[in-house]
Amino acid sequence: DAGVTQSPTHLIKTRGQHVTLRCSPISGHKSVSWYQQVLGQGPQFIFQYYEKEERGRGNFPDRFSARQFPNYSSELNVNALLLGDSALYLCASSSGSSGNTIYFGEGSWLTVV
């Protein structure tokens, strides 16, 4: 079975541009979460979606948005990119039930120049 898949794996953007990152969860998982991991830090929670509804949001500006599609895949969008948005963006997949294990993809490395 495929794990959590993310695309693209690496990308370079210019300040002010927009970026879209994509994620496909593990088959059967209905919850997708997004995390940002800057160098030397642990992942920080951005969004959680379950059954296409936003179920949680971390402390990130409105430039960050996401959505989940009927097939449970998800997109993370970031507008007006700043240099500080350079990070590894991780997608996590779970069944969505309380206490279930959470699995991560390999991430999308975003560099803003």
Partner 1 sequence: QKEVEQDPGPLSVPEGAIVSLNCTYSNSAFQYFMWYRQYSRKGPELLMYTYSSGNKEDGRFTAQVDKSSKYISLFIRDSQPSDSATYLCGIDSGYSTLTFGKGTMLLVSP
For partner 1, the binding residues (CB under 8 A) are 4, 6, 31, 33, 35, 40-45, 48, 50, 55-56, 58, 88, 90, 92, 94, 96-107, 109
Rounded-to-integer distance, Cα 14 and Cα 6, Å:
21
Nearer to partner 1 (CB atom), residue 79 or residue 103: 103
Sheet with strand 19-24: strands edge to edge: 5-7, 19-24, 74-78, 64-68
SS3 84: helix
Closest CB to partner 1 among residues 50, 64: 50
Distance in Å, CB of 85 to partner 1, minimum: 18
In angstroms, give the least distance from the CB of 49 to partner 1.
11
What are 103's two structure tokens? 């699995």
How far apart, in whole angstroms, are the C-alpha atoms of residue 74 and residue 45?
15
Please, which residue, 14 or 98, has the CB nearer to partner 1? 98
